[in-house]
Amino acid sequence: MKITLSNITAYKKWLNKENKPLSLAAKDLAAHAAEINKDVRSFIAIDPDVITNRALSLEKQTKRGSLWGVPVALKDNICIKGGLTTCGSRILEGFRPPYNATVATKLQAAGALLMGRANMDEFAFGSSCETSCYGPTRNPRDLSRIPGGSSGGSCAAVAAAQVVAALGSDTGGSVRQPASLCGVVGLKPTYGRVSRFGLVAFASSLDQIGPVTTNVEDCARMLEVISGHDAKDSTSVDINVPEYTASLERDIKDVTIGIPKEYFTCGISKDVSRRVQEAIKALKGLGAKIVDVSLPHTKYAVSCYYIIAPAEASSNLARYEGVHYGRRSAHAEDLIEMYIASRNEGFGAEAKRRILLGTYALSSGYYDAYYLKAQKVRTKIADDFRAVFTACDCILTPTSPTTAFKIGERIDDPLKMYLSDIFTIPANLAGLPAISVPCGEDKSGLPVGLQFMAGPFKEEMLIRVAHAYERSR
């Protein structure tokens, strides 16, 4: 029987029809994923023996959780005890963490079958999944195109039906942008909603782990599992986790949706603009009230982000010097030369670029002019959102200004690449939850994504509105 990985419900029906131990089904799942991976390259590696052993341990669980047996991929910057975790970088070759990320522990407790490491831009530095030391991941909808990034492998694995769900990390749009380009659902929770313990840091004040699925219902299920306070993460917020799936069936007749004029600029492709306008009409038809709003400091978001994020990255990546773990150069005669050679050999071009940018922004004489000023602008951006959410329940925007571009098209033009996240970055700067859902295709058949943003810890509102729109399509 053909393996069914379109969503959690369909997969569980397939598993029941197969009527065989999960460990045997896991062998089929691994072979299925490996065959697709020859073209898509969403996974860095698929080890059938490891997957089978994980399935055997799940068979021993006396209490079966909500995700029992469901195949899930984890981005290569989320630690699994004893498993390779390299962040798509040569600097971490051979690194096996001695602990689990909290989200991995929660998924295992819920019975999820962890399938392996999804490819990613090196250290999450990228918007195309091309900067990985393992080579690029390809978009399942068109293998000549990028899947988006940095969680390109996670989104491609779900879009290609290699897994039912995946986790990625979102620092400036790294879950939502590839979800948009691959035609799947991707959610970035409120900063502090999901533990970052065991997530290899990029920019610690921006990073969040989020789920990727084929539909909003599965996204809600995944979020219920991974959310919650964690004493191991000092930024984790001790706040009640709602039953997100309970909000799926509610209508949106009492919901007010804001349309910020700053997100509908001349940089959006005509096809993306057309699909988003069609979505606005559909939401009106569902009874939602549509109002125009303004977020005046949006124009500074990209500049602000590319000072703060590289600054935090340069600090976080200072630990990779070839001493404690990871790559150590064999071509050095003293300690300082070893530091330099190890980092030069281990980091790729984009990682080096961001380390240099961040170090410069934090350097003596430039800290006040760049980093401190960017933090003040960040506060202004957050203030804009606070003001707008007094007039509406959520905000609607495009997720990405374009659909997926060709592999190699922007890799040598970092400024053009950075603008790929122009609509997703503000939510990270303000710490807000945001979700991307498919809203049709362009004239070439490539997916277009629709983004909803809400106030802090208002993921229920996002799920409610996104699910209502999804059902209308």
**Which residues participate in catalysis according to the annotation?**
75, 150, 174
- My answer on whether omega of the bond before 150 falls inside 30° of 0, hence cis, is yes
Residue 472: Cβ within 10 Å count: 12
Cα 174 to Cα 186, 202, 211, 440, distances in angstroms: 9, 12, 11, 20
Q: Are 235 and 369 in contact (CB under 8 A)?
A: no
* Among 315, 350, 344, 312, CA closest to 331: 344
Backbone angles phi, psi at 187, to 5 degrees: -125, 130
Tell me how far apart the alpha carbons of residues 472 and 133 are, in angstroms, rounded to a whole number. 41
Block residue for tokens 């300690």:
335
Cα–Cα–Cα angle for 355, 359, 360, nearest 5°? 120
Cα 359 to Cα 15, 56, 417, distances in angstroms: 51, 47, 21
DSSP letters spanning 289-328:
EEEEE--GGGGGHHHHHHHHHHHHHHHHGGG-SSSSSS--
* Among 253, 248, 260, 259, CA closest to 288: 253
Tell me how far apart the alpha carbons of residues 61 and 58 are, in angstroms, rounded to a whole number. 5
- Amino acid of residue 246: A
Tell me how far apart the alpha carbons of residues 137 and 162 are, in angstroms, rounded to a whole number. 14
Tell me how far apart the alpha carbons of residues 73 and 158 are, in angstroms, rounded to a whole number. 8
Tell me how far apart the alpha carbons of residues 287 and 289 are, in angstroms, rounded to a whole number. 6
Cα 245 to Cα 52, 395, 430, distances in angstroms: 30, 21, 25
Tell me how far apart the alpha carbons of residues 78 and 102 are, in angstroms, rounded to a whole number. 9
* Among 171, 34, 41, CA closest to 118: 41
Tell me how far apart the alpha carbons of residues 195 and 348 are, in angstroms, rounded to a whole number. 28
Cα 120 to Cα 51, 88, 165, 242, 370, distances in angstroms: 20, 6, 16, 30, 29
Q: Give me 327's structure tokens.
A: 């790559």
Tell me how far apart the alpha carbons of residues 314 and 317 are, in angstroms, rounded to a whole number. 5
Which residues, other chains included, contact 323 with Cβ-Cβ below 8 Å and sequence gap of 6+? none
Q: Give me 354's structure tokens.
A: 């961001």
